[in-house]
């Protein structure tokens, strides 16, 4: 007898004290099957003849709601319900609700702690969190993108996401660990922003990103112009941003109001802002002069620069500059221009 009790105790400790999803499903199926058979043998046809009635009776009984509109009518049925359906059903109902609560809690905590593998494409990955710059950067990205591209922030320092739930968070031990970084789906990202507190780290991570995803638009922030130039030498398609505070101070002294103009041009929250648009396919070549006036008349926009394929950006381009498919036009406007009638805009 003692050996039998020991075996039962071991089974309980092994299978029931740490119930997983498969064990719970087995218990629920067994409970429903035995309840169905027991009510049939107890001669309770009004509870078993209709599947909807049986399901309704089992759920209301197991959840202790018990409306009373369906109940056993025979002595055997009442005994079976009292000894099996009610106690087992209540236990399984509570266990199922508990497991669901644990599942959703774990799912939420996994997301907040950045442990989940993201299945995103054409998204923006921000590597590094700077307490002064990153929150403002994310606000600007969300306003500019307006849901078109998801934003993922990758961090080594933070244990949980310090941002709202609309920004994805990934926690890694190293920014240059290919396996960990792939949880952000780095290889499918369309843009990557590297912004750490150390220029050496920014340079190393940027080179790693360029190797993992050479098609992504890489933007890196540097304080040291030497490292900025070094990255641009090995990754000519990257954009290396450095602090312009010193230049703005000098410029503001020489030309009053320069800092105001600069801040408004880069701010997406108010006033005139700098945007860009790519020349679409199936357009014949045209000059800057042919669209300069229509941009202003139709959209209150001013063209300030262009970038032709495989060439550097040209500020204040000549009106005779020829543009073609995939060239980029930079302009100043109150809002981004999302729909241009190019045939109408081009004045032949």
Among 192-206, 262-276, 306-320, the range scoring the smallest mean pLDDT is: 262-276
Round the average pLDDT of the chain to a whole number and report it: 81
Shared-domain flag, residues 196 and 264: no
Of 222, 243, 264, the one marking the end of a domain is 243
Mean pLDDT of 317-346: 85
* CB 222 within 8 Å of CB 228: yes
Among 103-112, 294-303, 309-318, the range scoring the smallest mean pLDDT is: 103-112
Q: Residue 222: what pLDDT?
A: 84
Shared-domain flag, residues 227 and 268: no
- Strand bridging mode 239-242 / 217-222: parallel
Count CB atoms within 10 A of the CB of residue 113.
15
Shared-domain flag, residues 129 and 100: no
Among 86-95, 247-256, 319-328, the range scoring the smallest mean pLDDT is: 247-256
Percent of the chain exceeding pLDDT 90 equals: 10
Shared-domain flag, residues 155 and 96: no
Of 82, 112, 142, the one marking the end of a domain is 112
Rg, Å, the chain Cα set: 32
Residues in the chain, total: 348
Mean pLDDT of 84-88: 83
Shared-domain flag, residues 179 and 283: no
Q: Residue 280: what pLDDT?
A: 86
Shared-domain flag, residues 173 and 277: no
pLDDT higher than 60, residue 8: no
Answer yes or no: is 117 within a domain.
Answer: no
Instruction: Extract long-range pairs of 43-50: CB within 8 Å, 24+ residues apart.
Output: 43/74, 43/76, 43/77, 44/72, 44/73, 44/74, 44/77, 46/70, 46/73, 47/72, 47/77
Shared-domain flag, residues 314 and 284: yes
Of 223, 243, 263, the one marking the end of a domain is 243
Under the banding of pLDDT at 50, 70 and 90, the label for residue 259 is low
d(CA 57, CA 89): 11
Answer yes or no: is 118 within a domain.
Answer: no
Shared-domain flag, residues 130 and 95: no
User: What is the domain extent for residue 203?
Assistant: 124-243
Give the DSSP letter of residue 117.
Answer: P
Under the banding of pLDDT at 50, 70 and 90, the label for residue 212 is very high
pLDDT higher than 80, residue 243: no
What pTM was computed for the model?
Answer: 0.60
Mean pLDDT of 263-267: 69
Shared-domain flag, residues 236 and 257: no
Query: The domain that contains 307 carries what CATH number?
Result: 3.30.70.1450
Shared-domain flag, residues 279 and 178: no
Q: How far apart are the first and last CA of the chain?
A: 101
Query: The domain that contains 58 carries what CATH number?
Result: 1.10.287.70
Number of domains in the chain: 3
* CB 195 within 8 Å of CB 134: yes
Q: Residue 107: what pLDDT?
A: 67
Query: The domain that contains 176 carries what CATH number?
Result: 3.40.50.720
Return the closest-CA partner of residue 112 out of 174, 155, 173: 155
Answer yes or no: is 119 within a domain.
Answer: no
> How is 287-323 classified by DSSP, letter by letter?
EHHHHHHHHHHHH--EEEEEE-TTS--EES--TT-EE
Shared-domain flag, residues 133 and 194: yes
**Would you call 294 exposed, middle or buried from its count of C-beta atoms within 10 A (0-12, 13-18, 19+)?**
middle
Answer yes or no: is 166 within a domain.
Answer: yes
Answer yes or no: is 253 within a domain.
Answer: yes
Shared-domain flag, residues 236 and 128: yes
d(CA 81, CA 84): 5
């Amino acid at each position: 007898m003692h050996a039998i009790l020991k075996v039962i105790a071991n089974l309980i400790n092994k299978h029931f004290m740490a119930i997983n999803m498969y064990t719970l499903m087995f218990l629920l199926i067994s409970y429903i099957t035995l309840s169905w058979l027991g009510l049939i043998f107890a001669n309770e046809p009004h509870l078993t003849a209709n599947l909807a009635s049986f399901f309704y009776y089992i759920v209301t009984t197991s959840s202790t709601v018990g409306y009373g509109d369906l109940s056993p009518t025979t002595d055997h049925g009442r005994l079976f319900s009292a000894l099996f359906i009610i106690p087992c059903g209540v236990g399984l109902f509570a266990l199922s609700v508990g497991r669901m609560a644990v599942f959703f809690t774990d799912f939420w905590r996994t997301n907040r702690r950045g442990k989940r593998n993201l299945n995103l494409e054409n998204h923006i990955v921000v590597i590094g969190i700077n307490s002064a710059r990153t929150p403002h950067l994310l606000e600007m990205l969300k306003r500019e993108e307006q849901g078109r591209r998801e934003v993922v922030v990758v961090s080594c320092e933070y244990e949980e996401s310090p941002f709202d739930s609309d920004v994805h968070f990934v926690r890694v031990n190293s920014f240059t660990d290919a396996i960990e970084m792939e949880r952000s789906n780095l290889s499918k990202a369309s843009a990557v922003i590297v912004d750490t507190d150390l220029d050496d780290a920014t340079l190393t991570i940027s080179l790693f990103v360029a190797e993992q995803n050479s098609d992504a638009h890489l933007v890196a922030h540097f304080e040291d112009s030497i490292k900025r130039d070094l990255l641009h030498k090995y990754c000519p398609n990257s954009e290396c941003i450095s602090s312009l505070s010193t230049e703005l101070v000098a410029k503001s002294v020489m030309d009053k109001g320069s800092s105001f103009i600069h801040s408004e041009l880069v701010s997406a929250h108010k006033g005139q802002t700098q945007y860009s648009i790519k020349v679409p396919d199936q357009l014949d070549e045209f000059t800057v002069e042919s669209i300069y006036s229509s941009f202003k008349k139709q959209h209150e926009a001013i063209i300030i620069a262009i970038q032709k394929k495989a060439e550097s950006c040209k500020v204040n381009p000549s009106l005779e500059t020829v543009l073609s498919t995939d060239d980029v036009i930079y302009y100043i406007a109150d809002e981004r221009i999302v729909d241009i009638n190019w045939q109408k805009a081009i004045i032949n």
